[in-house]
Amino acid sequence: MALLRQALQTHTQLTREAATGRGIDRHLLGLRLMLREDSGERHALFEDELFARSQTWKLSTSGLSAGYQFRGTGFGTTYDDGYGINYMPAPDKIRFGIESKQSCPQTSTQMFKSAIAGALEDMRVICTPILHAHL
């Protein structure tokens, strides 16, 4: 439970930083955009293979406002071998929209769905005794 709480705190902090333009990706984007490439200005960081790989988002996610109406959002994967997922929390359920390309043998919407269900079940097992102890 301590690790779950730490993960939630870290996720909340990183989300807040990203939403307010203080995420590391925004900082690096700003530096890259400041380069005057037309004048031949370059920096080795932005040509590094690891940096290029870090800009490849195989998992594209989006949270929707809390509620019950989930009618599809047109949200999908940005890469043929990636996943697109959106989610909508409600008081008694979480709804997910998961997309992957059927043409890609490395991805499976069904397997991703099963992995999410398994992770949520793990969280239920961890959280339920603590919730009952506080009632």
Same domain for 128 and 97: yes
Same domain for 84 and 42: no
Q: What is the pLDDT of residue 90?
A: 81
User: Does the structure show a pLDDT above 80 at 126?
Assistant: yes
Same domain for 97 and 48: no
**Number of domains composing the chain:** 2
Same domain for 63 and 51: no
Same domain for 69 and 6: no
d(CA 100, CA 85): 9
Query: What percent of the chain is predicted at pLDDT more than 90?
Result: 44
- Note whether 43 and 30 are within 8 A (CB): no
User: Does the structure show a pLDDT above 70 at 68?
Assistant: no
Same domain for 95 and 40: no
Mean pLDDT over the full length of the chain: 86
Same domain for 133 and 70: yes
d(CA 58, CA 112): 13
Same domain for 93 and 28: no
- Domain coverage including residue 109: 57-135
Same domain for 105 and 51: no
Please name the helix (run of DSSP H) or strand (run of DSSP E) that holds residue 10, with its range, or none: helix 2-19
**Hey, is 120 helix, strand or coil?**
helix
Angle between helices 109-133 and 2-19 (to 10 degrees): 120
**How, if at all, do strands 83-90 and 59-63 pair?**
parallel
User: Does the structure show a pLDDT above 70 at 66?
Assistant: no
**Hey, is 98 helix, strand or coil?**
strand
The pLDDT-based confidence of 50 (bands split at 50, 70, 90) is very high
Same domain for 99 and 45: no
Q: What is the pLDDT of residue 47?
A: 92
The pLDDT-based confidence of 28 (bands split at 50, 70, 90) is confident
